[in-house]
Amino acid sequence: MLMNETLPYHVPALLQESIAALNIQPEGTYVDVTFGGGGHAKEILRQLTAGGRLYGFDQDEEAEKNSLPDKRFTFVRSNFRYLTSFLDWHGVQSIDGLIADLGVSSHHFDDETRGFSFRFTGDLDMRMNKRSGQSAADVLNTYSEEALVNVFYFYGELPGARAIAKAIIQARSSRKIRNTQDFLDILKPFCSRAKEKKQLAQAFQALRIAVNEEMEALKEMLVQAGELLLPGGRMAVITYHSLEDRLVKNYFKAGNFEGIVEKDFYGNVRSPFRAVNNKVIVPDEAEIERNPRSRSAKLRIVEKL
């Protein structure tokens, strides 16, 4: 690996706030669907007694190396979209709480071999699970122009999505797009000097979301989590961009992803959840100074009715 091995795998954002949000029951069953470096998992285990259980999901092989040597903990090498199936395999039909930190681990951004960041030149992979699926290079070299427009417009919210898609089609007609530098060469003419870093980040984000089917997986996980939670159980989700935050906000508010609120005969909102925090929780200035990557983090919490 070419990255700096002294760097931490990941510094969790809003760590204490998100753990407190779970209102952990010492003998309860909990799930960390984004195990990563194990930061949240370690804090949950500190509050569990011998009768408590914690399951940590992560599809990345590097995360599996961080698995915790604790009899109360089980690591599950899987995408969290298969939450119910794997818990069922372990004999779990209901849970007391679930936490999801949806941000990409610092480890991934800092590893130049994975292709997540425009700061390094490396292969365009971007797969969270390197064992399956199309790489980012595959997407750029095989998607139709219209499909590419949708990726950069809907996932990157880039106004120049169509122009970027046309440039990709033209570039790949002469040679394959293979690495981050190839992608940057295509993107930079469409970036303004004042907003270049932001626009490049948006383009890389859009491609990563498409490669890992992040929006679809998030929807599937949230629905399953809602069904698995016991009454009084809590779900805490940390988001980092508006697309995923909108899905979480709508689902927590209305029980659907469109945010359509249904009311009963008396005008009471019908929802499977109660909001624990009426106002979204964000990092304070001290945390942002310690961990700049926490700047865009938003924590939402609900309790199952």
Q: Where are the domains of the chain?
A: 15-106+215-304, 117-213
247-259 pLDDT, tens digit per residue, is 999 999 999 999 9
Closest of 49, 93, 91, 53 to residue 74, by C-alpha: 53
More confident residue, 205 or 120: 205
pLDDT tens, residue by residue, 210-236: 999 999 999 999 999 999 999 999 999
pTM: 0.92
- pLDDT, mean of residues 48-66: 95
117-213 CATH choice from 2.40.110.10, 3.20.20.120, 1.10.150.170, 3.40.605.10: 1.10.150.170
Q: Which CATH number fits domain 15-106+215-304: 3.40.228.10, 3.40.50.300, 3.40.50.150, 1.10.287.1770?
A: 3.40.50.150
d(CA 18, CA 238): 8
Q: Quote the tokens at residue 26.
A: 């010492």
Q: Which residues contact 18 (CB under 8 A, 6 or more apart)?
A: 12, 40, 99, 101, 236, 238, 299
Place of tokens 């004999």: 91
User: Using CA atoms, how far apart are residues 277 and 98, in angstroms rounded to an integer?
Assistant: 16
The three-class DSSP label of residue 281 is strand
Distance CA 20, CA 40 (A): 11
State the pLDDT at residue 301: 98
CB-based contacts of 240, cutoff 8 Å, min separation 6: 102, 103, 104, 296, 297, 298
